[in-house]
Amino acid sequence: MSIALKQVFNKDKTFRPKRKFEPGTQRFELHKRAQASLNSGVDLKAAVQLPSGEDQNDWVAVHVVDFFNRINLIYGTICEFCTEQTCPVMSGGPKYEYRWQDDLKYKKPTALPAPQYMNLLMDWIEVQINNEDIFPTCVGVPFPRNFLQICKKILCRLFRVFVHVYIHHFDRVIVMGAEAHVNTCYKHFYYFVTEMNLIDRKELEPLKAFLCH
């Protein structure tokens, strides 16, 4: 890792504190196992497969929280260059525009500047992953029946952060020497959501050209 990259990723540029797993819990052990697989240099396609005997919801929960933390950090490194002036609409090039809807303040899909969209998105996800009724941390407490549907929506929206960063701010990522890190994070995300069928293939179209097969 370059010195510049270490400086970038050692700074706590996330918008909010990381959600962590409690030591001693099953999810903490799964998180450690997932991280060990990645750090050992194992093939990413193999690393995302559900370990034998493990619960799918636990495996998905661990990855959703981890991707939230990582993508938060990636956007944090370029957010000073993503302003209402440079990015007046949350988009991925001229072909893709993402509108915000949360059924609270924004009851209809609404066009917003990218930084405003990002802040609303991160707040929206954070509320859910810190909600014990959705992401229970106590052993024996079941996940809600619609857990995977909630995770699909979270991951679909996190994917849009990758789209925006790659298409509008990748020059900054390159200047920082962070492209290898971002590429690996995206490939990990892509292999996970496709392995677990969590994002419709059509949604992944904007970054088709960025994947190295």
Q: Residue positions in the annotated binding site for Zn(2+)? A: 82, 87, 164, 169
Paired strand residues for 100: 110
Residue partners of 75: CB distance under 8 A and separation at least 6: 15, 82, 118, 161, 165
Binding-site residues, in ranges, read: 82, 87, 164, 169
Handedness of CA 92, 176, 41, 55 (dihedral sign): negative
* Distance of alpha carbon 21 from the chain centroid: 17
Residue 34's nearest CA partner among 48, 54, 24, 21 is: 48
